[in-house]
Amino acid sequence: MSISLPSDVSSEGWRIDHILHVTHWAVVLLSIITLVWLGISLVRDRKHRDATFTHGTSRREKAIPLALAAFVFFCVDGYLLVRSHSDLSASILRANDMLGKEGVVRVQIGARQWAWDIRYPGADDHFDTSDDFYTVSELVVPVGRPVVFELGSSDVIHSLYLPNFRIKQDAIPGRVLRGWFQAEKLGRFDIACAQHCGVHHYQMGGTVRVVSEDEFAAWRAAMSRDGARMHAEDARAQAAESGYQLVVEDGWPEAAPSRAWAWPWGRSVQSAGGAP
Amino acid sequence: MSSRPSWIRRYIFSTDHKIVGLQFLWAGLIFLLVGGLLAMVMRWQWAHPGEPVPWVGELLFSESNGAVTPASYTGLFTSHGLMMVFFAVTPILIGAFGNYVIPLLIGARDMAFPRLNMLSFWVTLGAQCLALASILMPEAPSSGWTMYAPLTSHYDSVPGHGQELMMLAIFLVGVAGIMGAVNYITTVLTHRAKGMNMMRMPLSVWGLFLTAILNALFIPVLAIAALLLLLDRVYGTHFFEPAVGDPILYQHLFWLFGHPEVYILILPVWGILSDLFSYFSRKPAYWYRGSVYAMMAICGLSGLVYGHHLYQTGLGPMLGTAFEALTLAISGPAVVLFVNWLCTLWRGAIRYELPMLFALGTLVVFAGGGLTGLYLGPITADIYMHDTLWVVGHFHLIMSAATLMGSFAAIYYWYPKMFGRMMHERAGQLHFAGTLVFAILTFGGMLVAGYEGQGRRLFDPFQYEFIVHLKSVNQYTTYAAFGMGLFQIIFAINFIGSLFWGTRAAENPWGAPSLEWSTSSPPPTENFSEEPIVCNGPHELGNPAVREALGKDWIGQSEVMP
Amino acid sequence: MKCLLGGAAVLVLVFGCSEKPVFTEPQVLGGVTVQADVLEQGRRVYQRYCLTCHGAKGDGRGVSAFGQWPPPRDFRKAKFKFAGVQDRGLPSDEELERIITNGLKGTYMRPWILQQRELKSVVQYIKTFSPDGKGFRSKRLKVKSPVIAPDPYETSEEIAAARVEGEELYHAMFQCSSCHPAYATPQQFAAWDALMRPSEPLAPVPKWSENYRTVLLPPDFQRHQMRAVRTRKGPGGVIEHNSLDIYRAIAFGLQGPMPGFEDLGADKVWAVTHYVKGLADGRTLTPAQKPEDVPAPSDSP
């Protein structure tokens, strides 16, 4: 049995894998130092009749802990800090820049107890138009193209977790956060919720379906056409007097429009980035 | 004042710090049992999801034929976390040892505010009863121990009144914590014996003293957060409501307390460990002042790093990097402290007595906990690791394995002082071996599952494709957890049995120089027959001059060199 | 004394906290008398799992219901799309239990893992939302359980033949393609002497539904999931659809938007079932890595 991360199918996941692997080496090195040191003391010094008398206060003695602390602080911590910072600014926090790229796919993901509402802008590539369409907990993306998601929540805090894409981002009611990823392999991959969001948190799963560009285009065209037609039918039913009376009861329309995009509160994009 | 106070005055409503300390110890141990049993039921669910729990299932979950349901599962992990952090480990480490040993170690007759001390215990007990009541409600609290708003602020998301009782319990335990903290700080600052300057205090006292400072600073934040949450939930205020308040504000408040809480729990252990390594390797503690400054530095940093719990909430990049840098910086002083321990052991004359065994075990699991934390510090690594079982394994290594083994070390060490009898040696060794091995297996199993991506708090994790192959890992982990639980039975029997049948303790069974061993065991009501005058440091062991003069390898803190 | 008082206070706290029951008397629901304790347990289960979407009044307007499409079922109407009930009638307990345990695909209705006792009680409880004299409290409405006729086509040759027959029935006699998309060519339509829908024959027709107060979209079997049809991973990663579930929908309809075709003969319905199953199983798929959901327990009736 080998212990390994879930397969990485994203273009940027290697950055996270890399920093984890570097940490492995640091941890192995520090563990070996500790265990050898401890082991020698425990085995050898049990036979000592008299302990060496020292308070460890001479300049040379103080240098030992200080040197090791400096090594860990500058070499290990320093590397991790610089590396993660450069990854963030070079790629992970670049969602806003990705929006300007050719062929970017935009989706809005609304988390709710206990499902992911996913909205696509439709063929015209604009949200809030009549050909927007929706899926529930199924995110379909083309391979090899950046996907920029805007994440919100309509009830409690959730967290979008795509283990194979090394993505995790809290969905917070009242805020819309932006992030991006790019799939590199075809297939179906899990979506999970990483933040406890109620009794059925464990079932708040979903699927990312990575398809070829052609398949995605065909799928999007068909779904977008359905979306426009449903919108039209909705408008027709509203216009026709029979069967569609807007009775407001407890603040709720008796007949809700077929789909109200439930962005929680407000729709401004507050912060960019997969993480901070 | 009557010459002989009544039995109730002496043993129940006592203001004597030793009795209060023992009361805290008993209360904490009982809730340790409760929290542990909750953990066992929870682990069963991960090994055999949906199957009836053996023995206790029918009793606990009669509506579902003995199987854990999603709702009861959320109750289990919430109650386990809260019970352990607030109602078991805190009373044991801070309540019990803080009360029992601080006055003895600094040569005081009692705490600065004995009545406040008694009140602190009774408020804690009240909070514990509320907590127990809350988990026995038809709807136990089920929000996770962090109780994030707005999940908790609406009845629809977390139904039932168990949640409110628990919030109230946390508020009360916060109040009790503040009382205790004020008391400890004042006692250490004003009640030290003559000659006991700050740099002559045993490191245990330093640990407890710094913990008390952190408590005084940060527990009020928790108490207020719990109170605001309660107001939001019960009276419909909007402190954490997304439209007008801010749900993230709660996370800031909670973790502003929550991260120092880790150090609140571990600092006493660090202090006790530093002393024990010195006493049992018959060597002075290596670079005493270095250890003190390192603990102070960690205290100072502890309030500045909490942001790493919020990396995924859309923290600004600038703030995130600042928190990341401060988080990683904690490893500096931590390494100094750790290396000081290793240097203390180096070329010592190590005695493998029970407290020493547990102290060494604590050292090992603490190192594991610290190193696994390295993966969580960098923001990018945390994107993947956040909220997985890796985090759970990491903080259990520190907040469960290290604090509990440290507590055991302290219990084995001070048991003769508390009860005048020794605990059974062989049983203790067995308890040590079982606890260490199974703790590493249990929390190591969690780390493995977490590294492969398994999220925490999942009732049935195996419905995800990327987790399904981890079922065997989860099963092994569960059996290891059961093993760890079973070995605690040995401790319980040893602890209670030794009260009656333990061999009488010698005057100073460990040959330790600190003040508590210069009085009788258990100590009389006002501790010392006459106020000790301190003329030596806390770790005068193995000094050749002393050996020549006194014929033993140590000199007590109040002992005068001839 | 103080300690006694304290102890008493603790006992009161621990044991004194219990809620008042809502149901004290047995009720007649769907012609059957249901005991109060069953309803009481059902109410607790409902509060835990169902409340957030279906609402405290069972009207489908819980806090999480806003913006859901399709919207959560309004239990007061006692109409259930997938319970295999012909136009007027009440669903049987088994059908409701099946919907709860299997969930409805592509909606917010998840497959709920409930213990038998919880499942049975919550099914009884959701009946109590019917207003007096209507739905489950009506004296005239009867429970109708769908009886699924045995599949006459067994061998692969027979099934292949049934698919060919089903294709014609689907487009001609049953007129499925008046709402669902047409999959046949205009030449085939002409050969069958059937009429092809003039407007966008290859797309499904969205339609406002009175019963479910929303616009419904009939599935395109090559593209959409069927809500109440179980699937499992077959050989070669093909997702196989459960033919019994497809048969139930075609034979007994969806109580409102789609009529049932049972009276046209079980053999014909089975032929269309195999045709639709063939379309759905052959859905364009990227190599599947996971079964879509819980494997179907059994295919045999």
Beta-carbon separation of B380 and A64 below 8 A: no
Residues 528-547 of B with CB under 8 A from A: 539, 541-544, 547
pLDDT digits (tens, 9 = 90+) for A209-260: 999 999 899 889 888 888 888 888 877 777 764 444 444 444 444 444 444 4
* Residue B61: predicted pLDDT: 81
Phi, psi of B223, deg, nearest 5:
-60, -40
Percent of chain A surpassing pLDDT 90 = 42
* Residue C287: predicted pLDDT: 35
Sign (positive or negative) of CA dihedral B548, B552, B556, B558: negative
Q: Which residue has the higher pLDDT, C11 or C89?
A: C89
Determine the Cα–Cα distance for residues B326 and C284; give it in Å rounded to an integer.
51
Helix (H, G, I), strand (E, B) or coil at B373: helix
* B322 contacts chain A (CB < 8 A): no
* Residue A127: predicted pLDDT: 81
Chain mean position to CA A233: 36
Beta-carbon separation of C110 and A115 below 8 A: yes
* A230 contacts chain C (CB < 8 A): yes
Alpha helices in chain A (DSSP H): 13-44, 59-71, 78-87, 95-99, 213-239
Q: Which of A64, A155, A276 has the CB atom closest to B317's CB atom?
A: A276
Determine the Cα–Cα distance for residues C301 and C294; give it in Å rounded to an integer.
18
pLDDT above 60 for A262: no
Contacts of range B556-560, beta carbons closer than 8 Å, 24 or more positions apart: B556/B513, B556/B514, B556/B515, B556/B517, B556/B518, B557/B196, B557/B200, B557/B513, B557/B514, B557/B515, B557/B518, B557/B532, B558/B107, B558/B193, B558/B195, B558/B515, B558/B518, B558/B532, B558/B533, B558/B534, B559/B513, B559/B518, B559/B535, B560/B535
* Residue C19: predicted pLDDT: 59
Q: How many CB pairs under 8 A join A and B?
A: 305
Question: What is the mean predicted confidence (pLDDT) over C7-16?
Answer: 50
Check if the beta carbon of residue B105 is closer than 8 Å to that of residue B516.
yes
* C10 contacts chain B (CB < 8 A): yes
Determine the Cα–Cα distance for residues B482 and B463; give it in Å rounded to an integer.
24
Beta-carbon separation of A200 and C287 below 8 A: no
pLDDT band at B489, cuts 50/70/90?
very high
Which residues in chain B are closer than 8 Å to C14, comparing Cβ atoms? 129, 132-133, 136
Q: Which chains touch A (3 or more CB pairs under 8 A)?
A: B, C
Determine the Cα–Cα distance for residues A112 and A266; give it in Å rounded to an integer.
16
Give the Å distances, CA to CA, from B513 to B102, B221, B520, B534.
Answer: 15, 39, 14, 11
Which residues in chain C are closer than 8 Å to A219, comparing Cβ atoms? 223
Beta-carbon separation of A210 and C66 below 8 A: no
Determine the Cα–Cα distance for residues C110 and C104; give it in Å rounded to an integer.
6
* Residue C210: predicted pLDDT: 76
| Helical (H) or strand (E) element with B453 | none
Q: How many CB pairs under 8 A join B and C?
A: 60
Distance from CA of C108 to the nearest CA of B (A): 16
pLDDT band at C283, cuts 50/70/90?
low
Helix (H, G, I), strand (E, B) or coil at B543: coil
CA-based nearest residue in chain A for residue C70: A258
Q: Which of B150, B381, B453 has the CB atom closest to A163's CB atom?
A: B453
Which residues in chain A are closer than 8 Å to B374, comparing Cβ atoms? 23, 26-27, 76, 80
CA-based nearest residue in chain A for residue B77: A196
* Residue A251: predicted pLDDT: 45
Q: Which residue has the higher pLDDT, C60 or A26?
A: A26
Residue among B359, B350, B484, B488 at smallest CA distance from B412: B359
> What number does CATH give the domain C27-137?
1.10.760.10
Strand pairing class (A187-193; A176-182): unpaired
pLDDT above 50 for B518: yes
Query: Poorest-confidence range of B107-121, C120-134, C187-201?
Result: C187-201
* Residue A240: predicted pLDDT: 66
Q: What is the mean pLDDT of chain C?
A: 82
* Residue B367: predicted pLDDT: 94
pLDDT digits (tens, 9 = 90+) for C89-142: 899 999 999 999 999 988 888 888 888 888 999 999 999 999 888 888 888 888
Q: Which residue has the higher pLDDT, B231 or A252?
A: B231
* Residue C113: predicted pLDDT: 80
Percent of chain A surpassing pLDDT 70 = 85
pLDDT above 70 for A263: no
* A259 contacts chain C (CB < 8 A): yes
Alpha helices in B231-316 (DSSP H): 247-280, 288-302
> What number does CATH give the domain A96-245+252-272?
2.60.40.420
Helix (H, G, I), strand (E, B) or coil at C24: coil
Give the Å distances, CA to CA, from C204 to B483, C180, C188, C221.
Answer: 60, 5, 19, 10
Interface test with chain A among C44, C59, C211, C213, by most A beta carbons within 10 Å = C213
CA-based nearest residue in chain C for residue B122: C6
Beta-carbon separation of C63 and B156 below 8 A: yes
Which residues in chain C are closer than 8 Å to B13, comparing Cβ atoms? 2-3
Residues 34-63 of A with CB under 8 A from C: none
Q: Which residue has the higher pLDDT, B1 or B228?
A: B228
Determine the Cα–Cα distance for residues C116 and C119; give it in Å rounded to an integer.
5
Give all domains of chain B, ordered by start, each with its CATH number: 19-550 (1.20.210.10)
Q: What angle do CA A230, A233, A234 make, to 5 degrees?
A: 85
* Residue C293: predicted pLDDT: 38
* Residue C231: predicted pLDDT: 85
Q: Which residue has the tokens 């600094």?
A: B106
Q: Which residue has the tokens 């899990």?
A: A190
For the whole prediction, is pTM greater than 0.90?
Answer: no
Which residues in chain A are closer than 8 Å to B371, comparing Cβ atoms? 27, 30-31
Determine the Cα–Cα distance for residues B76 and C17; give it in Å rounded to an integer.
19
Amino acid at B543: N
pLDDT digits (tens, 9 = 90+) for B355-410: 999 999 999 999 999 999 999 999 999 999 999 999 999 999 999 999 999 999 99
Interface test with chain C among B129, B139, B465, by most C beta carbons within 10 Å = B129
* A273 contacts chain B (CB < 8 A): yes
Distance from CA of B433 to the nearest CA of A (A): 16
Residues 7-26 of A with CB under 8 A from B: 15-16, 19-20, 23, 26
B84 DSSP 8-state letter: I
Beta-carbon separation of B336 and A164 below 8 A: no
CA-based nearest residue in chain A for residue B457: A196
Give the Å distances, CA to CA, from A44 to A99, A161, B256, B349.
Answer: 64, 49, 44, 9
**Residue A117's CB: how many other CB atoms inside 10 A?**
24
DSSP sequence for C163-225: HHHHHHHHHTTS-GGGTSPP-S-HHHHHHHT-PPPSS-TTS---EEETTTTEEE----TTTSP
* Residue A10 β-bridge partners: A183
Determine the Cα–Cα distance for residues B158 and A205; give it in Å rounded to an integer.
20
CA-based nearest residue in chain A for residue C45: A199
User: Residues 6 or more apart from A54 whose CB is under 8 A from it?
Assistant: A61, B283, B284, B286
Distance from CA of A263 to the nearest CA of B (A): 12
Which residues in chain B are closer than 8 Å to A57, comparing Cβ atoms? 287-289
User: Residues 6 or more apart from C236 whose CB is under 8 A from it?
Assistant: none
Residue among A226, A21, A6 at smallest CA distance from A132: A226
pLDDT band at C7, cuts 50/70/90?
low
Give the residue extent of every domain in chain C: 27-137, 156-281
Question: What is the mean predicted confidence (pLDDT) over B490-496?
Answer: 94
pLDDT band at A129, cuts 50/70/90?
confident
Beta-carbon separation of B133 and C17 below 8 A: yes
B553 DSSP 8-state letter: S
Which residues in chain A are closer than 8 Å to C49, comparing Cβ atoms? 199-200
Sign (positive or negative) of CA dihedral A106, A109, A115, A120: negative
**Residue C253's CB: how many other CB atoms inside 10 A?**
19
Beta-carbon separation of C117 and B460 below 8 A: no
Beta-carbon separation of A258 and C69 below 8 A: yes
* C298 contacts chain B (CB < 8 A): no
* B249 contacts chain A (CB < 8 A): no
The token pair at C268 is 């014909």
Determine the Cα–Cα distance for residues C171 and C117; give it in Å rounded to an integer.
44
pLDDT above 50 for C222: yes
Determine the Cα–Cα distance for residues B400 and B488; give it in Å rounded to an integer.
14
Sign (positive or negative) of CA dihedral C29, C35, C39, C41: negative
Beta-carbon separation of C107 and A237 below 8 A: no
Name the most confidently modeled range: B125-129, B505-509, C129-133. Answer: B125-129
Which residues in chain A are closer than 8 Å to B315, comparing Cβ atoms? 275-276
pLDDT above 60 for C4: no
Q: Which chains touch C (3 or more CB pairs under 8 A)?
A: A, B
The token pair at C38 is 């069953």
B contact set with C (CB within 8 A): 8, 12-13, 50, 63-65, 67, 69-71, 129-130, 132-133, 136-139, 154, 156-157, 159, 161, 165, 460, 465
Which residues in chain A are closer than 8 Å to C223, comparing Cβ atoms? 219, 222-223
Question: What is the mean predicted confidence (pLDDT) over A89-94?
Answer: 88
pLDDT digits (tens, 9 = 90+) for B311-364: 988 888 889 999 999 999 999 999 999 999 999 999 888 999 999 999 999 999
pLDDT band at A191, cuts 50/70/90?
very high
The interface pTM score, or ipTM, of the predicted complex is: 0.89
Residue among C81, C89, C73 at smallest CA distance from C258: C81
pLDDT band at B299, cuts 50/70/90?
very high
pLDDT above 80 for B505: yes
Q: Which residue has the higher pLDDT, A49 or B193?
A: B193
Question: What is the mean predicted confidence (pLDDT) over B63-75?
Answer: 84
pLDDT band at A18, cuts 50/70/90?
very high
Q: What is the mean pLDDT of chain A?
A: 82
Q: What is the mean pLDDT of chain B?
A: 91
pLDDT band at B55, cuts 50/70/90?
confident
Helix (H, G, I), strand (E, B) or coil at A208: strand
Helices B354-373 and A13-44: angle between axes, nearest 10 degrees: 160
* Residue B315: predicted pLDDT: 84
pLDDT band at B12, cuts 50/70/90?
confident
Question: What is the mean predicted confidence (pLDDT) over B21-41?
Answer: 93
Beta-carbon separation of A64 and B339 below 8 A: yes
* A217 contacts chain C (CB < 8 A): no
Strand pairing class (A187-193; A158-162): antiparallel
pLDDT band at C18, cuts 50/70/90?
low
Check if the beta carbon of residue B414 is closer than 8 Å to that of residue A116.
no
Residues 57-116 of A with CB under 8 A from B: 57, 61-62, 64-66, 68-70, 72-73, 76-77, 80-81, 83-85, 87-89, 92-93, 113
